[in-house]
Structure 1
């Protein structure tokens, strides 16, 4: 499995990974313009409508260290649940889109701060569930 930050989130790279029989997890950030906006807006609407008729996987974690506690919420949605995305057919092997929302609680602050929402493109066959395992990567595991 190849994991790349936004700089590596490119159609040609996804194609090369799939041609080599690999799988990918690619960060989707605002440098993807229209594609990023479509995914972000879709997730916001789905959450606002309480996931009405949308199949998704969800996981949350809490981890502490370095005088802080960070909680993460992770939603994974099959690409078939979303309307057609900008240049979607060019993203070879794209199966899933993931949203991660992180909130950090600092030991010396009376309140919390939301770090933000991150989105990820996933090209992994037969995967339906995602868990967050560290600060940078979403790892796919088969749904049990």
Structure 2
């Protein structure tokens, strides 16, 4: 009887995931990267306060760079490429407060949810790990 109970519990352990998001998007390829962010540096100091975002484009993170956002209860990171557009000269998002705007179609995406009204795909989300009080790791 114990063997059957163990066999029933095993899928539960492997079926759980820390982040519950999907990055399946036909417009955006998946690139592996890892980015460490020191929140003590001036260019990232805004991330110490809730509802602030920073755009990072160091040439090796994400497709069009990465947008990191402090939700107040943690950090989220999204790719700066417009999720509902093929990659083009206008497909890099711009920040506007708590939103990211796609210049191709003027879609406004919430940085809290990654979604825009009436759009099929949400922003491509990346994993964020807080290493200590002043350091984040963003990776795919």
Scaled by the length of structure 1, what TM-score is found?
A: 0.37
TM-score of the superposed pair, with normalisation by structure 2: 0.38
Return the structure number with greater helix share. 1
Structure in which a larger fraction of residues adopt strand = 1
Considering only CA atoms, is the larger Rg found in Structure 1 or Structure 2? 2
